[in-house]
Amino acid sequence: MSGLLTNQHFKDYFGDPTSAAIGTMVAILEIGALISSLMAGKVSEKIGRRRSIRYGSLIFAVGGAGQAFTPNFTILTISRFISGIGVGLLTTVVPVYQSEISPSHHRGRLACVEFTGNIVGYASSVWADYFCSFFEGNIAWRLPLSIQCFIAVSLYLGSYVIVESPRWLLNHDHDAEGIVVIADLTTGGNVQDERARNEFRDIKETVVMHRLEGESSYSYMWKRYKRRVLIAMSSQAFAQLNGINVISYYAPLVFEQAGWKGRDALLMTGFNSIIYVLSTLPPWILVDKWGRRPILLSGAIVMGLALTAISYAMYLNTETTRHMVVILVVIFNAAFGYSFGPIPWLYPPEIAPLSIRSKVASLSTASNWAFNWLVGEMTPILQELITWRLYLIHSTSCFVSFFVVYLFYPETAGVSLEDMDSLFDDRSSIASFHGSTSTYRRLDTEAQSLMGDDNQHMSGAAIARQQALLQPVTSYNSPTAAAGNSNLTRQKSESSFQSHLNSFTQRNLSGQGGVDLSVEPPAFEDIVKFKNSDANSLKSSIRRSSATVGSFVGKVFKKNRQTNGDEEDQALQSDVESTTSQDA
């Protein structure tokens, strides 16, 4: 849309709309996105991540078609609102989905790859605006608006290619499909591999623990996980307040204000978009090597300095101003592209517990679109009223974000989603004695000294929750306390867990509801039954192909993929028959 604002055919067709009208038309998409993002949490939790992506892309396609064939400015504005509904749904669900299918050691890289795709789309739209500006008549602005429809349809079709989130499947007790998807994503489809089965146990244990707590409402989320929610919302708020949409939405106007006119302003925007895309590539490596914090901190400083310099250059208004502004805008976009561009989409879903992940993502995305709307609505007005001073407002936000990140944002690189409770020290009060594995070996070691050798099968995530059960609380790291009270501690912990188990068992027997406390993968018979029913479906063949693509892009999956799914099914069936004959 940014390139069309300076297109003369666009202005003539709509009667040269005022700055306020343009601001409303641009910002109305954010209103639609804000509304749908607030609903997206419940929607994706109910119907799944994959179907949410499907419906979001369909809604966006409808809105795009309305914009391309609009007869007047009112329909254009309404169509952008419809597109915003789709955008809000997609921008909430896709980061959650991405975080839930990614391994912890490459979760950051894959999120940054996703963001690069986002910016490639933005750059493509800028160049489409530029090349279409050479056309005569209304095709010069209708054609760029129609391209988004084809992209949306491609995403809609792609929703039939991707697998469902394994964490969503296990949270909704689709265990057979869940273990198959986990195996496809981690072990080349081998459901007997202990890595896949341990991954299943870790995820399922987290599901059980949150079910035992019994509440996942917004009020409970705010009370229990306030710090995480505020961090998630602030990251998205700063992404907008730091000034990116002053550049992205109104880049041609910024360049015109600096002295570039007409098609030259579009050309400068196009060159800027190329640098923007290139700047998103370094985080592919740095985000998991450096971590999230160093990237955000360095990006905030560079963006703040660049915006301050832009303001000063426009204040001077000399012969060199327009060249200085181009260089500084490129620097700003590059800094944003490698820092506050990708990280705020990665950070919120990865720090949120599974039971409230969709809600946290919903609120953080709503925060993004709320401030996105505010910036989009006010920018054209403030550009006329306060001119160069506008950029000082956003530079101040950049420097504020530096201190907020430094003081309050923990480093999450390499931490599994199931171990975030330990990182934030807001662990569950429920202990678990289910067998699983953990990447937090330090916690496992501490747990063995605390709980005794017979509980070595407890996961790190479960051990982290153990401290809350100790009454009175003794030093967690004290060897003396651990040695003197290990038996008493174990008895209290087992008693506490058994009381929770009995409570929910009685509720199940009485017909009042409850939870399934099993964290073990489903029996081979159930897996074979699911795979046989799924073997000839499009979903089954697509699942393997999507896992192959993920392996190539992220280099996170093993090379020993099985190429014949039928042989795997036969092997599973053989194991089942062998077990049955032995029992007989």
User: Could you tell me if 21 and 139 lie in one domain?
Assistant: yes
User: Is the pLDDT assigned to residue 485 strictly greater than 50?
Assistant: no
Q: In whole angstroms, give the CA distance from residue 506 to residue 500.
A: 10
403 and 258 in a common domain: yes
**75-84, 320-329, 437-446: which is most confident:** 75-84
* Predicted TM-score (pTM) of this structure: 0.71
In terms of domains, do 548 and 496 share one?
no
Residue 560 pLDDT: 42
529 and 504 together in one domain: no
Same domain, 350 and 458: no
CB 179 within 8 A of CB 527: yes
Burial class of 420 by CB neighbour count within 10 A (0 to 12, 13 to 18, 19+): buried
Least confident piece of the model among 191-200, 304-313, 501-510: 501-510
328 within 8 A of 310, measured Cβ to Cβ:
yes
Q: What are phi and psi of 75, to 5 degrees?
A: -65, -35
Query: Does 401 share its domain with 441?
Result: no
* pLDDT grade for 561, boundaries at 50, 70 and 90: very low
pLDDT digits (tens, 9 = 90+) for 358-385: 889 999 999 999 998 888 778 778 878 8
Average pLDDT over residues 318-329: 84
Tell me if 517 is assigned to some domain: no
Is 216 a domain residue? yes
Q: Is 519 a domain residue?
A: no
Give tens-digit pLDDT for 347-361: 998 898 878 888 899
Q: Is residue 416 part of a domain?
A: no
Q: Which of 374, 408, 442 is where one domain is finished?
A: 408
Answer yes or no: is pLDDT of 136 > 60. yes
Percent of the chain with pLDDT over 70: 72
Q: Is residue 86 domain-resident? A: yes
Q: What pairs with residue 435 in β-bridges?
A: 458
Tell me: pLDDT of 416 over 80.
Answer: yes
pLDDT of residue 133: 83
Instruction: Outline where 133-250 has alpha helix (H).
Output: 139-158, 166-171, 175-186, 194-213, 218-224, 226-241, 244-248
- Among the candidates 509, 532, 559, a domain finishes at 509
Report how far Cα 152 is from the mean position of its chain's Cα atoms.
19
Residue 19 belongs to domain with CATH number? 1.20.1250.20
525-538 tens-digit pLDDT: 888 888 777 654 55
Taking the C-alpha atoms of residue 1 and residue 126, their distance in angstroms, rounded to an integer, is 8
Over residues 301-306, mean pLDDT: 96
Measured distance CA(369)–CA(533) in Å, rounded: 42
- Same domain? 99 vs 9: yes
pLDDT in tens, 7-33: 788 888 888 888 778 878 888 888 999
Residue 224 is assigned to a structural domain of this protein: yes
**Is residue 198 domain-shared with residue 75, that is, in the same domain?**
yes
Work out the burial of residue 407: count CB atoms within 10 Å of its CB; fewer than 13 is exposed, 13-18 middle, 19 or more buried.
exposed
Same domain, 446 and 397: no
Q: Which pLDDT band, with edges at 50, 70 and 90, does 132 fall under?
A: confident
Tokens of 361: 């993502």
- Range among 99-108, 165-174, 460-469, 515-524 rated most confident: 165-174
Mean pLDDT throughout 414-419?
A: 82
C-alpha–C-alpha distance, residues 247 and 340, integer Å: 14
Model confidence at 54, pLDDT cuts 50, 70, 90, reads: very high
Count how many domains the chain has.
3
Q: Is it the case that residue 556 has pLDDT exceeding 90? A: no
Q: Is 469 in the same domain as 541?
A: no
Q: For residue 405, give both structure tokens.
A: 């990140």
Compute φ and ψ for 520, nearest 5 degrees.
-75, 145
Could you tell me what percent of the chain has a pLDDT over 90?
Answer: 33
Return the amino acid letter for 479.
P
Ranges 251-265, 271-285, 566-580: which has the least confidence? 566-580
Task: Write out the residue range of the structural domain in which residue 454 sits.
Answer: 427-509
Q: Say which residue, 471 or 276, is predicted with more confidence.
A: 276
pLDDT band at 3 (very low <50, low <70, confident <90, very high): low
Q: Which of 171-185, 196-210, 540-554 has the lowest mean pLDDT?
A: 540-554
- The answer for residues whose C-beta is within 8 angstroms of residue 213's C-beta and 6 or more apart is 355, 428, 429, 430
Distance CA 473, CA 497 (A): 17
- pLDDT class of 466 with cuts at 50, 70, 90: very low
Average pLDDT, the chain: 77
Q: Which of 484, 509, 534 is the last residue of a domain?
A: 509
Amino acid in the structure at residue 124: S
Q: What pLDDT score was predicted for residue 503?
A: 46
User: Does position 555 have pLDDT exceeding 80, yes or no?
Assistant: no
492 and 579 co-located in one domain? no
3-state helix, strand, coil in the chain (%, to 5): 75, 0, 20
pLDDT score of 356: 86
Look at residue 102 and tell me if it is in a domain: yes
Query: 3-class SS at 89?
Result: helix
Please check whether residues 400 and 432 belong to one and the same domain: no
471, part of any domain: yes
